[in-house]
A and B are shown apart, each in its own frame.
Chain A
Amino acid sequence: DADVTQTPRNRITKTGKRIMLECSQTKGHDRMYWYRQDPGLGLRLIYYSFDVKDINKGEISDGYSVSRQAQAKFSLSLESAIPNQTALYFCATSDLSRGYGYTFGSGTRLTVV
């Protein structure tokens, strides 16, 4: 099994629908992150969590919410999906004691029509 698992891998949804992207990890890392990737824009941070009770907004949090249900699970929700949220979404984890390196999931390709 992958260290960081994202579900679903692909999703097409309609404008206005609520959708949840899920992320789970088996690395035991305390920190988890959600990024979106758009062509030419690189990775942009949506939300991050340093532990279950510590959740922080990233640079593009509007229209998104998150839930850290457990140390191993960090879900991202789009409350009312819009077409410009069409992107590739990545979850990542890190462990401060191991020098910050991130471990990424394989990504969720979301299309909002």
Chain B
Amino acid sequence: GDSVTQMEGPVTLSEEAFLTINCTYTATGYPSLFWYVQYPGEGLQLLLKATKADDKGSNKGFEATYRKETTSFHLEKGSVQVSDSAVYFCAPPHGSSNTGKLIFGQGTTLQVKP
């Protein structure tokens, strides 16, 4: 079945460090891909999305490029802040048909230290 793999956490960085969180997946259906963020004690919020191959989603300094040839959607940020400490979820589409369902990775916890 479809699956998504995220790098395991926790990822611990110092403030202003560069961040990469890897995400690869197997589904080949509808191309929309998403990253969600969950701050402590809260629900998941949409961070960014890409809707076609080579599309780059960006928000709050985070970026991710949809690489169809490698079925990857890695999340990056050039300079992290303490306020970026959260759990990040990659969410590609589930299945090969236009079902609208997403499949979620297990989440990567990011801890940013001052």
A interface vs B, CB < 8 Å? 31, 33, 35, 40-43, 45, 48, 50, 90, 92, 94, 96, 99-107
Contacts and interface: CB of A to CB of B under 8 A. Distances in A.
Contacts, number: 52
A105 B100 contact: no
Contact of A100 (B43, B89, B93, B104): B93
B101 interface: yes
Contacts of B62: none
B28 to A, nearest CB: 15
Contact of A96 (B45, B91, B100, B105): B100
A48 B95 CA distance: 15
Contacts of A41: 106
Contacts of B49: 99, 101
B89 to A, nearest CB: 7
Given A90-B44, A100-B32, A42 B100 contact: no
Nearest to A43: B104
